[in-house]
Amino acid sequence: MPHKVSLSRLKLTDFRNYAAAALALDGRHAVLTGDNGAGKTNLMEAVSLLSPGRGLRRAAYGDITRVGAAGGFSIFAALDGMEGDVEIGTGIETGEETTARKLRINGTAAKTADELTDHLRLLWLTPAMDGLFTGASSDRRRFLDRLVLSLDPAHGRRASDFERAMRSRNKLLDEGRFDPSWLAGIEEQMASLGIAMALARQEMLGLLTRLIEETRETSPFPSASLQLSGFMDGQFSRPSVDLEDDYAAMLAESRYRDAGAGRTLEGPHRADLIVHHREKAMEAERCSTGEQKALLVGLVLAHARLVGNLTGHAPILLLDEIAAHLDEGRRAALFDLVDGLGGQAFMTGTDRAMFSALGDRAQFFTVSDGRVFE
């Protein structure tokens, strides 16, 4: 069983609809129940900001600060982390828009948010993700990249460096500046970063596919088959240096075409994650709404198990409205599966009775108008 990473304290100040809130947690799962709009998901979002990035809503930091607050917002958490007990504080100092938040770990300013991954890994599933299989390919790429990030924290840096290089190339092409040596230098950088991104995604899909295969017989959820499409399909068994050379040549050949299109038409930013319902041999996007939800739950939980297996530390799960569309039997199976991962999960719902199968495996909180009661 992987080591259990768990929060023991969470304090919020001027965060969304909370002027101030404090939760004392005992290491069990935390179930947050209350009316719609009470602030349950806001608490989840606060926990999600203990990972790199902009959290589960991907909100601008200025929008997170409570309306009417004098300054910015702050989040404090104490936890039993991957390297022992740790205290994490993050937030912004003013309500103004900012691209960076301050982060302190054990009272010391962190150099980058990536340092958070030394202490905990966070995974989430929210109702906003329900349309993942039918929505834009960019949503599926972002979903896949979050899966990769939880095991390879450098993936995010590679992706942002690739985007930056691609924007530079697009700008040169847009301005008609076809300087071959300048473009070749940028394209070489894009090839190195782009192939590294694509290989990291392929590796994640391979690991996840093997784990899904191993647990297929015992999972109460349908199993997904996964593949990437749209960038150098079927070529990733070749040496990476050859792939880089091929992609750089592809970019060089497509300069005039890309200039006409106003964007780079080939690359990992165009790949799509293709998901099939294995038992039905059907594309996920053609499955019923309930089947899509069950596929997604199964996929996220399989990934959580993979993270625990490979890091030796169970991730913290944020499961928003997770029980809403499941029957009683599948809810009980879900809770057993979540508990069997060996970590701490935060779950939300409007009705406490929906979580009765958890019994004493969870701590129950009531959320009402920006206040939390146990």
Task: Assign 3-class secondary structure to the chain.
Answer: CCEECEEEEEEEEEECCEEEEEEECCCCEEEEECCCCCCHHHHHHHHHCCCCCCCCCCCCHHHHECCCCCCCCEEEEEEEECCEEEEEEEECCCCCCCCCCEEEECCEECCCHHHHHHCCCEEEECHHHCCCCCCCHHHHHHHHHHHHHCCCCCHHHHHHHHHHHHHHHHHHHHCCCCCHHHHHHHHHHHHHHHHHHHHHHHHHHHHHHHHHHHHCCCCCCCCEEEEEECCCCCCCCCCHHHHHHHHHHHHHHCHHHHHHHCCCCCCHHHCEEEEEECCCCEEHHHCCHHHHHHHHHHHHHHHHHHHHHHHCEECEEEECCCCCCCCHHHHHHHHHHHHHCCCCEEEEECCHHHHHHHHHHEEEEEEECCEEEC
Round to whole Å and give the CA distance between 286 and 76: 43
Q: In this structure, what CATH number is given to the domain that contains residue 3?
A: 3.40.50.300
Contacts of 121 (CB under 8 A, 6+ apart): 5, 51, 82, 150, 307, 311, 313, 315, 316
Query: pLDDT category, 325, cuts 50, 70, 90?
Result: confident
Assess if residue 48 is contained within a domain. yes
* pLDDT at residue 95 is higher than 80: no
Assess if residue 148 is contained within a domain. no
Query: pLDDT category, 194, cuts 50, 70, 90?
Result: very high
Backbone angles phi, psi at 322, to 5 degrees: -70, -30
Residues 56 and 48: beta-carbon distance below 8 Å: yes
Round to whole Å and give the CA distance between 155 and 159: 6
- pLDDT tens-digit profile of 122-163? 999 999 999 999 999 999 999 999 999 999 999 999 999 999
* pLDDT at residue 330 is higher than 90: no
pTM above 0.85, yes or no: yes
Q: Report the chain's terminal Cα–Cα distance, integer Å.
A: 29
Query: pLDDT category, 77, cuts 50, 70, 90?
Result: very high
Q: What is the mean pLDDT of residues 192-204?
A: 97
Round to whole Å and give the CA distance between 73 and 13: 6
Q: What is the mean pLDDT of residues 273-300?
A: 94
* pLDDT at residue 99 is higher than 80: no
Q: What is the mean pLDDT of residues 222-240?
A: 96
pLDDT for the residue 97: 64
Among 200-204, 319-323, 327-331, which stretch is predicted with the lowest mean pLDDT? Answer: 327-331
Contacts of 221 (CB under 8 A, 6+ apart): 294, 295, 297, 298, 301
- Structurally, how many domains does the chain consist of? 1
Query: pLDDT category, 324, cuts 50, 70, 90?
Result: confident
* pLDDT at residue 189 is higher than 80: yes
Among 91-100, 306-315, 317-326, which stretch is predicted with the lowest mean pLDDT? Answer: 91-100
Q: What is the mean pLDDT of residues 353-367?
A: 96
pLDDT for the residue 218: 87
Q: What is the mean pLDDT of residues 178-203?
A: 96
Assess if residue 7 is contained within a domain. yes
Question: What does pLDDT average to over the chain?
Answer: 94
* pLDDT at residue 96 is higher than 90: no
Among 49-53, 92-96, 255-259, 279-283, which stretch is predicted with the lowest mean pLDDT? Answer: 92-96
* pLDDT at residue 322 is higher than 80: yes
Assess if residue 181 is contained within a domain. no
Query: pLDDT category, 226, cuts 50, 70, 90?
Result: very high
Assess if residue 37 is contained within a domain. yes
Assess if residue 207 is contained within a domain. no
Its domain, for residue 326, covers 1-131+290-374
Q: What is the mean pLDDT of residues 208-219?
A: 92
Of 263, 333, 271, the C-alpha closest to 298 is 333
List, edge to edge, every strand of the sheet that includes 6-15. 18-24, 6-15, 74-81, 84-91, 102-105, 108-109
pLDDT for the residue 297: 93
Assess if residue 157 is contained within a domain. no
Q: What is the mean pLDDT of residues 23-50?
A: 97
Assess if residue 176 is contained within a domain. no
